[in-house]
Structure 1
Amino acid sequence: MDHPLFASLPPEEQAYLLQLDERYQFSFQQQRQLIESACDLAMWKAGSLKMWIDETSCEHVSGKKRAGALLSDHLQRMERERSMPTRYQDFEVEQRFTDKYRSLFVSTDKLMGRCPCPVDGEKTRCCNLKTLDVVQQCAFGCSYCSIQSFYNSHEIRVVKNLSQRLQDLELPEETWHIGTGQSSDSLLWGNDYGTLDALSHLARRYPELIIELKTKSHRSDYLKLDLPMNMVSTWSLNAPTIIEKEEHLTATLQQRLDAAKQARDKGRIIGFHLHPMVYFDGWQEEYGQLIEEVTRSFRAEEVMLFSLGTLTFTKAVLRQMRADGHQSRILDMQLTPASGKYSYPLETKERMFRFVYEQFPDAWKQGTPFFYLCMEDPSLWEPVFGFSYPDDRTFEAAMKRAYQGFLQQRRSRI
């Protein structure tokens, strides 16, 4: 079999597929589907491919149609599994501790980028976030993360002469919101490489600019630095089961919330991203408890933003995850086409997002925090929030007013 993923399978799975192919003479596309199934089942620790193949299902047909009938029955079995909430009760995996990293200071012609929303057609409601990749690579081991697909996993690459580069950087007039967590965790490294000092100079040069530091860590030593108010700390939150099973080496939910409390108590602006939400067995209970803990620990006026989003994969990331073969059940889901990528069906997303938003008290739905869906279909906004934006420009303008208004309010109190 010529498919590149075939070589990543264990020898016994390769042997079984070759025997099966000899009997049924699959097409290349049929081989690809079977190989991908074998990769997924190995990741899920759900048994060998042979356990998910029933050769009696094609006894009623003959000739070339036998291969199609066999594959159709197998794919139906897989789809039934994918359509159910992912089960984690019987899933245990050793933590994937990363290899020892070496740090490199590198020159780069490009500092600025943009968020990965589709560029054309407004297939998702996009806020036009700009990104600033001051560090590349992350030491966390989230099973769904695309960062590890882009960069050498053994190197932390830091922009050389970052402070000077940012002093020389002239931002386009329309730039008002920059994220620094696209190619690494924004606070995992703290100020170890001087990145926060360098970013603070940029923040002071552009006092209306929002620089977002997005993290899954519980690092708090950066709070001793004299950072300007427009450098905002935000935490990606998730259900404890997903943190334990899929977000390896990251801080626990409680550690993240405690770190957010420390930032709040120091007068910092904070926000949260419940992203990516996972449709798993127990999701309602755990996400419900998460929102209860957030609203008990923080007042609405203390939180600038709260976003919701879920799993989204490109073909390239799916190939890389299957080739790596790390134990994970994150792909035990319906991979539905979504704006050139793959995600849950819209019905599943609406159910999850509506449930979470309904858990917030009414006091949290009065303008602060600013709620939004991240990289999601525009049709979901109205059933989830009860409001929507007609286009990306209107959405971005509303976010800008909310963020900069929050910033001005905080400054007026000092």
Structure 2
Amino acid sequence: MNEFYLNNISQLYIHRSVEKLPGTLRGLEKLRELGIHEHRVVNDRSEIPGEHLRQSTLYLSPVRGEPLGHCPGSKGHICCNYHTLDLYMGCSLGCSYCVMQSYLNFSPITIQMDTSPMIDSIRRLAETNPDRQIRVGTGEVGDSLLFDPLFQLNGELMAALADIPNLVLEFKTKTDYVDHLLQLPGRKFTVIGFSLNTDEISRAEDGYSVSIIRRFEAAKRVLDAGMSVAFHFDPMIRSGDWKPGYEKLCNSILELHQYALEECEDPGNGLWPIAWVSMGTVRFTSALRDKIADRPYLYDEYSRGRDGKFRYLQPLRAELYRLIHGNLQPILEGERPLRLYMCMESDAMWRQVFGNTPAHIPELKPIFQPLRSAP
């Protein structure tokens, strides 16, 4: 972890309005311990010199715009009603398929330091929907945990929102940087979501992300702390020995599920130790395709959907999803049935893979039930 920070943080800029916030002070102290002492306070992002507009620059910023957003989903596809907070905007992991390359300026990586407006927005949403489970995540436009050991902003959310009974916070990551969260207030309603791909694909395409085995080791530490985990097969890629690779991952989830049954209590808040597993296949815009034109998985068969993104043809996507669905079938029913769902897929694809849509699958209905907008 420390080596990653030393190699990937070259400049630090701090907006004057967040200079004295607790997260800023924590981060500065941690960085000084690593030997990173230099920073500059600015009044606006425009003061950052052009030569420092790069991924190795961190910009600590106030919140801009609405603090709580709704997962954008895709036109013509079923959405799981996920809500998002943009704590960490941008990522240094360098995954080849990252869709953010096509719509987010990565230079510099921006960290929105003031969690108070985010906390207020979540409280209003929860008060408006006391009868619904509310899922909020911080990993929509950046890895939730990559820089969190420095600034510990997710912990601020956990502590401030621990009294909301119908809230679930999820922090999605491709790291194993979980240890700073394991003893915090609010961990009973917190889910650490690990993105998964086959070992072969991860080594080739996941940049600086930690190995799959380290992610599963971290997941076990999370369970041992009384928290929940989730897994996200996204983006699934038909490359190399993908079938045995995904079967191996499913076997690891089955083993972890058995461990949770035998050793872990349910955290509560309607959660099981393995809260859910999602699936999504590789998808990209024309702009992203131009940036990653050398990747071998681009030579498969794709079609352009109504949302403008390219996806595998339907039979190819269905084959991928059925592989996961079939291998996880032993834990889709019975004690603590697994909540398995697809991300950004059509009504027709749901019927092909699950035989029905989420609204008619009892385990998934609480997740997909729309929320009322907060005033």
- After TM superposition, is the score higher than 0.5? yes
Counterpart position of 2:86: 133
The normalised TM-score by structure 2 is 0.71
> Residues 212 and 232 of structure 1 are in contact (CA less than 8 Å); yes or no, is this contact kept in structure 2?
yes
Change in Cα spacing, 1:316 to 1:206, as seen in structure 2 (3 Å) is: farther
> Residues 232 and 270 of structure 1 are in contact (CA less than 8 Å); yes or no, is this contact kept in structure 2?
yes
Provide the aligned C-alpha RMSD in A: 2.6
Give me the whole-angstrom Cα distance separating, in 2, the residues matched to 1:270 and 1:127.
18
Counterpart position of 2:99: 146
Q: 1:166 aligns with which of 118, 121, 124?
A: 118
Shift of 1:165: 2.4
Counterpart position of 1:303: 274
> Residues 240 and 253 of structure 1 are in contact (CA less than 8 Å); yes or no, is this contact kept in structure 2?
yes
Give me the whole-angstrom Cα distance separating, in 2, the residues matched to 1:129 and 1:253.
25
Counterpart position of 2:16: none
The normalised TM-score by structure 1 is 0.65
2:169 counterpart of 1:211 = yes
Q: Which runs of 5+ in 2 are unaligned?
A: 1-53, 262-272, 370-375
> Residues 232 and 269 of structure 1 are in contact (CA less than 8 Å); yes or no, is this contact kept in structure 2?
yes
Q: Residue 379 of structure 1 aligns to which amino acid in structure 2?
A: A
Q: Residue 147 of structure 2 aligns to which amino acid in structure 1?
A: W
Q: Secondary structure at the match of 1:118?
A: coil
- Identity across the alignment (%): 25
Offset from partner CA, 1:26-46 (integer Å, 9 cap, x none): xxxxxxxxxxxxxxxxxxxxx
Larger radius of gyration: 1
Q: Residue 209 of structure 2 aligns to which amino acid in structure 1?
A: T
Bigger RCO of structures 1 and 2 (CA < 8 A, at least 6 apart): 1
Change in Cα spacing, 1:334 to 1:311, as seen in structure 2 (3 Å) is: same
- Count of residue pairs the alignment pairs up: 295
Give me the whole-angstrom Cα distance separating, in 2, the residues matched to 1:148 and 1:372.
26
2:248 counterpart of 1:248 = no
Range with greater deviation from structure 2 (164-173 or 206-215): 164-173
Give me the whole-angstrom Cα distance separating, in 2, the residues matched to 1:311 and 1:221.
30
Matches within 5 A, 1:13-412: 100-118=56-74, 123-162=76-115, 164-169=116-121, 170-172=123-125, 173-174=128-129, 176-228=134-186, 229-299=188-258, 302-319=273-290, 321-322=291-292, 327-340=294-307, 341-366=309-334, 368-389=337-358, 397-399=365-367
Shift of 1:126: 1.1
Q: Which runs of 5+ in 1 are unaligned?
A: 1-97, 402-414
Q: Residue 57 of structure 2 aligns to which amino acid in structure 1?
A: Y
Q: Secondary structure at the match of 1:296?
A: helix
Q: Secondary structure at the match of 1:124?
A: coil
Change in Cα spacing, 1:142 to 1:160, as seen in structure 2 (3 Å) is: same
> Residues 90 and 110 of structure 2 are in contact (CA less than 8 Å); yes or no, is this contact kept in structure 1?
yes
Give me the whole-angstrom Cα distance separating, in 2, the residues matched to 1:99 and 1:155.
5
Offset from partner CA, 1:16-58 (integer Å, 9 cap, x none): xxxxxxxxxxxxxxxxxxxxxxxxxxxxxxxxxxxxxxxxxxx
Per residue, is there more helix in 1 or in 2?
A: 1
Shift of 1:255: 0.7
Shift of 1:346: 0.5
Give me the whole-angstrom Cα distance separating, in 2, the residues matched to 1:255 and 1:153.
26
